[in-house]
Structure 1
C-alpha cells in the first residue's frame, strides 16, 4: 500500500499487523539490545518494521543487516542504500532505494483521524492553517491536519540523514494539491547540499487508504 506514493525505483514492504518474531530471521543481537527495556508493544512494532525493511532490502539484492536506531531513531543503512521506516497503530512499512538513484527518502503513516487537541497549533504555520481550512471546505473527506503532520514527518525523515540536524515543524512550510495527491515543502532554513546542489524545497505524494494517511518524499540523485 505504501508503494502508492513511491516510484518504481523504491522497494517497499508493509504489514497491517505485527509479524511473528521469527518471520524473516528475527532481530540481530544489537537490535535486541536496543529495545531490551521496551514494553511488549514497542518491541513488536520495532521487530515488524525491521522485518519489512529486510524484505525490502532483499528486493534490492542486499543481505540482511542490523538496523539499530540512533539519534531521533535514524538508522545507518547499508552502503549504497538509503531508506525510511514508519509505524503507527495497525500499520508498519519500510522503503529503500539505491543511493545512485535516490539520495534520501522519507515515508510516514498515520491513522486517518483528526489530530488531538493542541497539536495543530504546534506543527502548523499561520498560512498553513488558512490553507487547511480551505482544503477542509473543498475536501471534507480528508483530515488535513493529520495529513500535514504526516507530511512534515516525511520532510524530517528526508532532511535528517543529509544534515544530521534537527528540523522544527515550523521550519518547513507545506502546500497540498488535493486533486493530484502531491505536496510541496519549502524549507525556511538553508536546505541540505547534495553533490554541490542545495535543496531548498522537497516535493512529495500523499494518499488516504484503508483508514491511513500515507506520505512520502523521494529526493532523486
Structure 2
C-alpha cells in the first residue's frame, strides 16, 4: 500500500502481518528482550521491511536502532520512516540526494478510542472529523490522527524540534481510487513555523493518503531540492509506534 503514495526515488516494503522469517541483529534483539511477544514481532517485522527497502537501494542489511524521540537511525546518506499497526507493517526509504525526509504512518480504519480525537484536533478539524466520511469505509478521525503522526515523523528528523498535535492544522481532499478505494491528498499548515534546513521557515507539508484492507496509510516526502518554505509529496519518527 505505502508505495502507492511515494514519488520516484523512494522505495518501500510492507506486509500485512507477521514475517516468520525475520531476524534481528544482536543489538536490536537486546532492545526487545524483555518486551511482550507482540512488541517483539512488530519490532522484528518492521525491521525486515526496512532491510528489504535498504536492499532495493542497493545497500547491505544494517541494524536499525532508535534514536532521539524514537526516530530510526539510518545508514549514512539514507532517510526514511517506519510504521506498524494491527495487521500492517511498513518501511519507506530514500537516498538523501533524492529526498530530504520521509514520514509515513499506518492506522486501523477504526474509530479512535474515546477522548483521543478531542485531544489531537483543532476546532475546525474536530468539526470535519465528526461530519462523516469519504464513503462508509473511512473513519475520518483515524485519518486525521494518522496524518498528524506523518507530519510529526517528517518534522522532527528534519528540524530537530518538537511539534504538538495542535501545531498543525490539516485539511483533506478526496479522490475516488480503484474499485472505489478512498484516497486523496492532505495539507498540513504549520501554525508555529520554524526555520528549515535552508534557514527559511517551513510553513506547509502536503502528503497523500489511502484506505484499503481495513488500514489507513499516510505519507509525506520532502524533495531534497525543496526542503524550504513549502514541501510536498508528489503523487505516486513515530511518536508512539515508529520502531
Counterpart CA distance in 2 for 1:192 and 1:96 is: 24
Q: Find out whether 1:148 has 2:144 as its counterpart.
A: yes
- CA-based RMSD of the aligned residues comes to 1.5
Unaligned 5+ runs, structure 2: 176-182, 225-243
What's the offset of the Cα at 1:71?
A: 2.9
Query: In the alignment, is residue 110 of structure 1 matched against residue 107 of structure 2?
Result: yes
Q: Give the Cα–Cα distance (whole angstroms) in 2 for the partners of residues 137 and 85 of structure 1.
A: 27
Q: 1:53 aligns with which of 46, 50, 55?
A: 50
Unaligned runs of 5+ in 1: none
Equivalences for 1:148-167 in 2 at 5 Å? 148-167=144-163
User: What CA distance in whole angstroms lies between the structure 2 residues aligned with 1:40 and 1:130?
Assistant: 39
Deviation string 1:144-167 (CA, Å, 9 cap, x unpaired) is 100000000000000010222221
Q: CA deviation at 1:198?
A: 3.0
TM-fit CA distance, 1:184: 0.2
Tell me the secondary structure at the aligned position of residue 169 of structure 2. Answer: strand
Q: How many residues align?
A: 217
1:8–1:119 distance in 2 versus 1, CA, 3 Å: same
Match in the other structure for 2:198: 195
Tell me, in whole angstroms, the C-alpha distance in 1 between the residues paired with 2:159 and 2:120: 21
Q: Tell me the equivalent position of 2:2.
A: 2
Asked if 2 retains the 8 angstrom alpha-carbon contact of 1:57 and 1:64, the reply is yes
Greater strand share, structure number = 2
Q: What TM-score do the two structures reach when normalised by structure 1?
A: 0.93
Quick one: which of 159, 172, 176 aligns to 1:176? 172
Contact 1:159 1:192 in 2 (8 A): no
